[in-house]
A and B are shown apart, each in its own frame.
Chain A
Amino acid sequence: MAIPRQQMPQRDGIERSKDFKEVNLGLAEQVAIREAQRCLQCKNPKCVEGCPVGINIPGFAKLITEGDFLGAAELIRKDNDLPAVTGRVCPQEIQCEALCVRCKSGAPVAIGWLERFVADYQMKNQKTEDGKQKTEVRKIGKKVACIGSGPAGITCAGQLAKLGYDVTVFEAFHKAGGVLVYGIPEFRMPKKIVSAEIRNLKALGVNIETNVIVGRTVTIPQLMNDEKFDAVFIAVGAGLPEFMNIPGENFKGVYSANEYLTRANLMEAYNPESDTPIIRGKRVCVIGGGNTAMDAVRVSKRLGAAESIIVYRRSRKEMPARVEEVHHAEEETIRFEMLTAPLEVLGDKDGWVAGLKCIRMQLGEPDQSGRRRPVPIPGSEFVIDCDLVIVAIGIGANPLLTKTTPGLKLNKWGYIEADENLMTSIPGVFAGGDIVRGAATVILAMGDGKKAAQNIHKYLSH
């Protein structure tokens, strides 16, 4: 009899929406084995083609069926340095799992959950001996700087360290991890997982310097000329919040999602021990339909909002957020106002947010992105009462580093131009992740980190 796709155990929606503990609980060993047995071990595995870093998926599924969880984790780590991260935040449903042959006759193998299972198993059961790998690697005697400690930066750093390079990661914040620590909330991406990965990186001999803002504290020319770095990988992310440019956006109680999530995640404003304040709205409107909007709205619920509302100008189908995140948000009683566009933030006499004036939309002809363009329905204006508005409509290219790097070629939106090897217009300077692609995913950034490492190695080898 065919085994059905196993279920991911998760905490009750109402209960979990009151704290920051993780939503998904992870598969039990026997459940993971059953799920892995569903893999048909295709000769030509399509799933691997769907993976931006080409993980040997049938291979690790087979090892799980044999009960060799550590072996499975090691196999994944050959292609993916952060399996505990990607097992949680990758959009598998549009990548590996979308191409699984089992889709034709039912549900795909739960590749993401299996990846998460073995990564967590490894973290729990394998004592990493500091310096173990350090001694094995022969030093090449060349220095590489990775700018940014998010998914792209740490992947590149790890790969290069394994090849024997002296790698320094520069991080602008006081804590390493990039978007994994300031952006993605604890209930989706526990910080102890990120810090474990950072420890792994240090065990490989990677030097991490926090509080260094490249472009201000030190420039790329200084790194290369004065500090003698042989190559640089720029992986600073996008990092410039977009606002709506509607009236009332400067009332007290309007946040960019970046600010709101940074306060909540990096600065742990939800923790009474933290001194960083955050406005705890009673009725919260989050504008946008991506994963960041979902994160922000779910954080607001956990910070005590009576009602948290997503305001999105298109329909459910066009939402860029992962299906699982939208589903989780619904379970946590998030309200969705679809086909709704904000016109104005309303304020009270003291300058605090008092409401969001909106207009209903309908879908017209497809635009350049292929999605049907929302057009306002005349006369449909209405007001949502709220005391907090969070703008999560996207991010642009932060110019802080790019402006201070002479000769670095940018595209018309300010993102860095890189060739097929991820090298920029400056020899020896490579770039990847969101500062090249525009806002994308953790796994694509990691793919860039890996590719950049290979090309930096090639560049420095002749």
Chain B
Amino acid sequence: MNKETLGPNVTRYEIKAPRVAKSRLCGQFAIVRGLEHSERIPLTIADVNKQAGTITLIVQTVGKSTLEMSKLNKGDSFCDVAGPLGQPSHIAKYGTVAVIGGGLGTAVVYPQAVALREAGNRIVSIIGARTKELVILEELLGSVSDQLIVITDDGSSGKKGLVTDALRELTQSDNKVDAVYCAGPVIMMKAVAELTRPMNIPTIVSLNPVMVDGTGMCGGCRVTIDGKRKFACVDGPEFDGHKVDFNELMDRLKTYKGHENKKYEEHRCKIDLGAVSDKSKK
């Protein structure tokens, strides 16, 4: 693998996975196990290099498994990479498309922006983050956008506000927005969908529920779309944002919060203790 740090706790990995690289279409994801005891983690494939047989994954360190991943070095390998999984993005010619990435969601919408632009759309990208350090892929996304808006909660980069503020402003300007593609925290996707619903702007969101196999076998990633049960791993991950039950998704995402925090803290404690004992030897 090749790796590069994109920001605090955000790492970009380029991994050799020729079969995955060959078959992957925009919008699909891979399931990765960093080490032998790691969880299976679904990650959007941000990019591929078919010649080199590599895929690009952008990972935020949020728990023990991702922390251990980030400790791997150039030349190391992940234990397992399986994919591509999920339905490819629905790419069409709309006219002007607002592509909205919140935090790490920017890595999810980047390949969509590329594909939408290739399909002849005008791309206005909006990157939202809490603060300047958490804005990722600004340059890369900018390079495939006709217009790029950065907006942060604290105004430390770009405008001050939320992505919905930027989107509202955009729709009120002369620019007609014909479609919205959006990925990021569930609460943000929900707010975007609520904003575009009365305007009848088609809004595609990319969901990130808990998953195990990624092949429709476990049903852990079930989401409610238009009152019906769907599996995000095989029916999604992208859905019509106006039909998603976001509240249920937000709630189900809390299932393992306690476990994750505990594992993460335990692991960090071990590292800290390790550091202390190393020093004490000297």
A contact set with B: CB distance below 8 Å: 172-174, 210-213, 216-218, 239-241, 243, 250, 252-253, 255-256, 258-259, 262-263, 267-268, 273-277, 279, 351, 398-400
Known: A172-B215, A174-B79; 11 extra A-B contacts, CB below 8 A, are A216-B84, A216-B85, A216-B215, A218-B23, A241-B218, A243-B219, A252-B251, A256-B220, A258-B217, A259-B219, A263-B212
Bound CA–CA A240/B216 (angstroms): 6
Q: Is the CB of B254 within 8 A of A174?
A: no
Q: Is the CB of A217 within 8 A of B23?
A: yes
Bound CA–CA A267/B38 (angstroms): 9
Interchain nearest-CB distance for B264 vs A (Å): 10
Q: Is the CB of A217 within 8 A of B39?
A: no
What residue of chain A has the Cβ atom nearest to residue B262's Cβ? Answer: A277
CB-CB under 8 A from A212, the residues of chain B are: 19, 82
In the complex, whether B81 has a CB less than 8 A from a CB of chain A is: yes
Cβ-defined partner of B213 (8 Å) among A172, A243, A273: A172
What residue of chain B has the Cβ atom nearest to residue A222's Cβ? Answer: B23
Interchain nearest-CB distance for A207 vs B (Å): 14
Cβ-defined partner of A262 (8 Å) among B80, B217, B254: B217
Q: Is the CB of B218 within 8 A of A210?
A: no
Q: Is the CB of B83 within 8 A of A213?
A: yes
Cβ-defined partner of A216 (8 Å) among B40, B81, B83, B224: B83
Q: Is the CB of B263 within 8 A of A275?
A: yes
Selected A-B contacts with CB under 8 Å, 25 pairs: A173-B213, A174-B33, A211-B81, A212-B82, A213-B82, A213-B85, A216-B28, A216-B83, A216-B85, A217-B82, A218-B23, A241-B218, A241-B219, A252-B255, A256-B218, A256-B220, A258-B219, A262-B213, A267-B39, A267-B40, A268-B37, A275-B263, A351-B252, A351-B254, A398-B216
Contact flag A241-B217 (CB < 8 Å), given A217-B20, A217-B23, A275-B263? yes
What residue of chain B has the Cβ atom nearest to residue A250's Cβ? Answer: B248
Interface centre among A263, A273, A400 (most CB of B within 10 A): A400
CB-CB under 8 A from B213, the residues of chain A are: 172-173, 262
CB-CB under 8 A from A216, the residues of chain B are: 23, 28, 83-85, 215
B contact set with A: CB distance below 8 Å: 19-20, 23, 28, 33, 37-40, 64-65, 79-85, 212-220, 222, 224, 229, 234, 248, 251-252, 254-256, 259-260, 263
Q: Is the CB of A275 within 8 A of B37?
A: yes
Contact flag A259-B82 (CB < 8 Å), given A252-B255, A276-B39, A277-B259? no
What residue of chain B has the Cβ atom nearest to residue A253's Cβ? Answer: B255
Cβ-defined partner of B83 (8 Å) among A173, A174, A217: A217
Bound CA–CA A19/B60 (angstroms): 36
Contact flag A255-B84 (CB < 8 Å), given A174-B33, A243-B229, A275-B38? no
CB-CB under 8 A from A173, the residues of chain B are: 82, 213
What residue of chain A has the Cβ atom nearest to residue B80's Cβ? Answer: A174
CB-CB under 8 A from A279, the residues of chain B are: 255
Q: Is the CB of A398 within 8 A of B38?
A: no
Bound CA–CA A430/B28 (angstroms): 29
Interchain nearest-CB distance for B247 vs A (Å): 9
Q: Is the CB of B255 within 8 A of A217?
A: no
Bound CA–CA A210/B80 (angstroms): 9
Contact flag A274-B37 (CB < 8 Å), given A241-B219, A243-B219, A252-B251? yes
Interchain nearest-CB distance for A316 vs B (Å): 28
Bound CA–CA A40/B238 (angstroms): 64
Q: Is the CB of B20 within 8 A of A240?
A: no
CB-CB under 8 A from B81, the residues of chain A are: 211
Bound CA–CA A218/B82 (angstroms): 11
